[in-house]
Amino acid sequence: MAKFVLLISFIDEIATYFVGVLPKEFHVVLGKREEHEFQKLILMAAGIVIGKAFTMAAIKYAGSMLYLRCREICDFTLHRLYFKRHGFYRLNILSNNLDNPDQRMTQDVEKCCRIFTSELLAPILMAPFIICYYTYLTYISSGFLGPITIYIFFIIATVVNKLLLSPTIELVTEQEQKEGDFRLKHVEVRSNTESIAFYQSGLTENVFTNQKLGSLLKTQKKLFNWRFALGFSTNFFGYFGGVLSYFILAIAIFYQKNYSELSGSDLNGVISENAFYYLYLIHSFTQLIALSEKFGDMAGVTHRVIELFEELNRLHQDRLEMDRPPSTVPSTVVVIASGNENEKKGNSIGCISRTEESLDGTQRIEELHGRQAYGIELESDEEEAAYLLGAPRIQRRSLRQVSHAPLKNVNEGRSVSVVRGGGGGSGGDDTDNEEWMDDGIAMTIDSATVAFPDERTSPLVISKLSSFFVGSLY
């Protein structure tokens, strides 16, 4: 979808070029009083305008579709981390690192995706090509003077806007935080209505709520002050660009004596065409400057969304072995593999590997500690994603059959046997339950041993089988 947006934007720029050079043709035709050519020009202009209108509507539509896809991916990713392994509980109750996770996953994600896809993506990616092309056209018509003047103008405008943009970004972030705090206060009042009425604490809640509102309004006032300065700077450089284009034309005509052989309607046509080149090059730069304000808004909310994503990842990565439910007990897994070729594969857990180093049957034993999984044949990531996206049961069952198929190679005569030991809350195998997803904590593997089957490993297998049956009896 992003490629389609860029393609439509490219076509739109072509239409813009033809719209821009139309006034030149009108100046020449009207100046020479050619009625027949004027009729042809009207028909051509109508077609160009229709094409321009279509491309503008198509860009907006494609940007909206890209926004939907972008928001779907962002929210699905955050939801998976938020609801997996009780992340929502640890983030809201046990952790105080972030404010208002609900606002970050809803309002902030919506604003971030909307600004990026609909207002920033196409202009930012197309700007380098547009600037290079119209710089070349400006150089052809006015020499080095035109591009150098416009570039100096852009550098000055960029420095000024950068000085005004940095405080604006910080205030946007602070405003979003205060908005969330103010909204959360009203949610707390609504959730505890009976308690507040019972204790007759309406006046107290009124004071606390007004404090949140006062803090929000104070931050917004600062933001509006900085936005006034940023808006003044943006509008000044935007409108001054139109005057600058005629200043460049005046230098080319009066001082460089260009186009001295032209007069009348032909000169008017050349002036109109060159003015379009200069104006559009200046417009491309001023559009980048104008995008700075939108970029500031997006940067503030994007920072909050990234903070939420990083915090959810940290909560899952920092989870300790002792942070499992009391109903689970340690278990031991023994994997017996046979074969002589160098190969390394993993089972469906994603943490037990079988390694064969050489043809002489060199044995290696790997022990893995502290890895959490549901049972032994854990639901695959593909199956979990299919479940979250609402895939039918048949598709999820096929994914399960693939991910839980025995690790077996008929041609090589190689097979894998898995022996489980343990008990308590993780003794049963619930992988037949299609609605059960990997919560990552239903079973804890203390150790996993990988070895080749021979006489030396037989006692180990017998020992594990014995402990398993004895545990089942008790």
Range of lowest pLDDT (155-169, 376-390, 402-416):
402-416
Of the two residues 33 and 473, the one the predictor is more confident about is 33
Pairing status of strand 371-373 against strand 443-451? antiparallel
- Please name which of 419, 416, 415, 418 lies closest in space to residue 466, comparing C-alpha atoms: 419
For helices 35-83 and 265-317, give the axis angle rounded to 10 degrees: 10
Instruction: Tell me the percentage of the chain whose pLDDT exceeds 70.
Output: 67
Across 277-294, average pLDDT: 80
Transcribe 235-271 into DSSP letters. Answer: HHHHHHHHHHHHHHHHIIIIIS-TTTT--THHHHHHH
Residues 6 or more apart whose Cβ sits within 8 Å of residue 350: 373, 378
Across 28-57, average pLDDT: 85
pTM value surpassing 0.95? no
Instruction: Tell me the percentage of the chain whose pLDDT exceeds 90.
Output: 5
pLDDT at res. 387? 56
Classify residue 75 as exposed, middle or buried by CB count within 10 Å of its CB (0-12, 13-18, 19+).
middle
Of the two residues 293 and 378, the one the predictor is more confident about is 293
CB 386 within 8 A of CB 433: no
pLDDT at res. 297? 77
pLDDT at res. 50? 92
Handedness of CA 296, 302, 308, 309 (dihedral sign): negative
Range of lowest pLDDT (21-25, 179-183, 197-201, 347-351):
347-351
Residues in the chain: 474
CB 9 within 8 A of CB 126: yes
Q: Which two tokens stand for residue 49?
A: 């305008």
pLDDT at res. 426? 39
pLDDT digits (tens, 9 = 90+) for 100-154: 888 888 888 988 888 888 888 888 888 888 888 888 988 888 888 888 988 898 8
pLDDT digits (tens, 9 = 90+) for 361-398: 333 333 333 333 333 343 455 655 555 555 566 665 56
pLDDT digits (tens, 9 = 90+) for 422-449: 444 434 444 444 444 444 444 444 455 5
Q: At 209, is the pLDDT very low, low, confident or very high (cuts 50, 70, 90)? A: very high
Coil, helix or strand for 104? Answer: helix
pLDDT at res. 467? 60
Per-residue pLDDT for 218 more than 90?
A: yes
- Please name which of 174, 67, 58 lies closest in space to residue 120, comparing C-alpha atoms: 67
pLDDT at res. 338? 43
Q: At 222, is the pLDDT very low, low, confident or very high (cuts 50, 70, 90)? A: very high
Per-residue pLDDT for 199 more than 50?
A: yes
Of the two residues 280 and 464, the one the predictor is more confident about is 280
Per-residue pLDDT for 84 more than 50?
A: yes
Task: Please give the CATH superfamily to which domain 2-319 belongs.
Answer: ABC transporter type 1, transmembrane domain (1.20.1560.10)
- Please name which of 43, 46, 42 lies closest in space to residue 30, comparing C-alpha atoms: 42
On average, the pLDDT of the chain sits at: 72
Q: 447 - beta bridge partners?
A: 332
* Residues of each domain in the chain carrying CATH 1.20.1560.10: 2-319
Q: What's the start-to-end Cα distance of the chain, in Å? A: 60
Of the two residues 339 and 49, the one the predictor is more confident about is 49
For helices 202-250 and 145-191, give the axis angle rounded to 10 degrees: 170
Across 320-328, average pLDDT: 43
